[in-house]
Structure 1
Amino acid sequence: MATELSHSLSLYLVMDIASHEEKSALEIAKAAIAGGVTMLQLREKTAPLRQVLEVGGAIRKACREHGVAFIVNDRVDLALLLEADGVHVGQDDLPALEVRRLLGPDAIIGVSAGSMEEAEWAVSQKADYLGVGAIYSTVTKGDAGAPIGTELIGQLKSRWPHLPLVGIGGISSANAEAVLQAGADGIAVVSAIARQSDPAAAASRLAGMVKRFKVTSE
């Protein structure tokens, strides 16, 4: 599973259900998928639940039609209702072992980690992958904390060589390669795709960058 998951983490889009420049969330998601996104996480904190279920269901359908893993942030109940492939939780959310009890053995469960101590806890909870960050300064997640840079990624990869890692936080085409060079299996982005005028083109540029790096580093 780790090898397959490492590939799925290559270009990981985190998005809410807000529209941007007259594009609906579904249109943004479809464009991003067409551009090469390999995993999509729905992270919606404020919209009414009825709306999240409606839009989230449509996005999940688009992901499934194109073989893209669909993950829900924090909310196990939403993941169940949307028939998501898994859940991503933070350090203060429902522990990964409890999430596994609710979602079953085949669910993809990711855990955020911003330090070695947090990573150790996530590993003890049998996380399938770690979301490491915030790597760079970001304004899309208010509680992301101070940027930690890429050093932790290298430390984690040295300690757990087969544990899939995705870097997140302020990542763009200008700095993505440094995250991959540090040892990340992929990059997670928000505004670098979801808040661009042409999400498909933005995703394609990032996907191409990740693919080229992986080919040259093999």
Structure 2
Amino acid sequence: MTDIGCQLYLISPLDVSGAFSEKLEQALSAGPVAAFQFRVKGIDQHEAAALAAPLQEICARHDVAFIVNDSISLAKRLKADGVHLGQGDGDARDAREQLGRDAQIGVTCHNSRHLAMEAAEAGADYVAFGAFFPTNTKEVEHIAELDTVQKWTLVTEIPCVAIGGITPDNAKPLIEAGADFLAVSGAVWNHPQGPAEAVKAFNALLA
């Protein structure tokens, strides 16, 4: 996840069983993607690891960082490229200690530059702001503002991820505000022409 302008960061749907691996292959074959976040809920770690294995393989083949959502222990078990922590999912320092210096550690910071500063001081590699738009992927508790991204990019070099209801139609202001990554889920996996077309549409915007 290097700094080369704004890049695409894909987040999995909650159901990654069945034919999802084919969708992921299509998406990653369609154009540059910086990272893929494995986000599943309500299953045990053994089942999660089994679901993750083929997806991790696809990401490795396409040189895409494989990031585990919420669970430092699952990230460690999978030898994932990193972990993304919500505000209640543990500390970046603990993640660094367990996953090593090369792990990519991200922290959800809602609309708060204060939380983002705390995460950066704890050693996070990137912070995530959102949700910027309504989304069906998860319940929105915090609405983020463009101003948060703009001010963050002026005061620090720690990359920021914009998340929440982002589509090719509404992403441009976030790119112009200085977001380093666009985190997208539904706009890719539920695209009427398939995930490959969605990735192409986003990358046309990011080019």
Q: Which residue of structure 2 lines up, in the alignment, with residue 192 of structure 1? A: 187
Specify every segment of 5 or more residues in structure 2 that has no aligned partner in the other structure, as ranges: none
RMSD, matched Cα: 1.9
CA offsets 1:162-182 (integer angstroms, 9 cap, x no match): 211110011001111111111
Give me the identity figure in percent: 33
Q: Which residue of structure 2 lines up, in the alignment, with residue 134 of structure 1? A: 131
- Secondary structure of the residue aligned to 1:137 is coil
Q: Which residue of structure 2 lines up, in the alignment, with residue 50 of structure 1? A: 46
Judge conservation of contact 2:130–2:142 (CA < 8 Å) in 1: no
Letter of the 1:53 counterpart: A
Determine the C-alpha separation between the residues in 2 that align with 1:13 and 1:56.
15
Judge conservation of contact 2:6–2:206 (CA < 8 Å) in 1: no
Q: Which residue of structure 2 lines up, in the alignment, with residue 25 of structure 1? A: 20
Determine the C-alpha separation between the residues in 2 that align with 1:8 and 1:44.
29
Aligned length: 204
Q: Which residue of structure 2 lines up, in the alignment, with residue 112 of structure 1? A: 108
Judge conservation of contact 2:26–2:195 (CA < 8 Å) in 1: yes
| TM-score relative to the length of structure 2 | 0.91
Letter of the 1:207 counterpart: N
Shift of 1:54: 1.6
Q: Which residue of structure 2 lines up, in the alignment, with residue 123 of structure 1? A: 120
Specify every segment of 5 or more residues in structure 1 that has no aligned partner in the other structure, as ranges: 212-218
Equivalent of 1:180 in 175, 179, 182: 175
Equivalent of 1:89 in 85, 92, 100: 85
Determine the C-alpha separation between the residues in 1 that align with 2:169 and 2:6.
19
Q: Which residue of structure 1 lines up, in the alignment, with residue 2 of structure 2? A: 5
Tell me whether 1:59 sits opposite 2:55 in the alignment.
yes
| TM-score relative to the length of structure 1 | 0.87
Equivalent of 2:97 in 85, 98, 101: 101
Determine the C-alpha separation between the residues in 1 that align with 2:83 and 2:103.
8
